[in-house]
A = this chain, B = another copy of it.
Amino acid sequence: MKNKKGQLLVISGPSGVGKGTILAAVMEKNKNISFSVSATTRNPRPGEVDGEHYYFVKKEQFFEMVDSKEMLEYAEYSGNYYGTPKKAVEKKLAEGFDVALDIDVQGAFQIMEIFPDALFVFIVPPTIEELSRRLAKRGTEDAESVAKRLNAAKNELKQANKFDYIVVNNALDEAIANVEAIIAAGRCRSERMSDLLESLNKM
Contacts and interface: CB of A to CB of B under 8 A. Distances in A.
A165 B185 CA distance: 8
A4 to B, nearest CB: 13
Contacts of A203: 127-129, 154
Given A160-B197, A181-B185, A122 B165 contact: no
Contacts of A138: none
A49 interface: no
Interface string A154-185: 10011011111111100000000110111111
A194 to B, nearest CB: 7
Nearest to A121: B188
Contacts of A196: 124, 166, 168
Interface residues of A, number: 40
A68 interface: no
B177 A190 contact: no
A193 interface: yes
Contact of A157 (B128, B167, B200): B200
A137 interface: no
Contact of A165 (B124, B158, B164, B189): B189
A3 interface: no
A140 interface: no
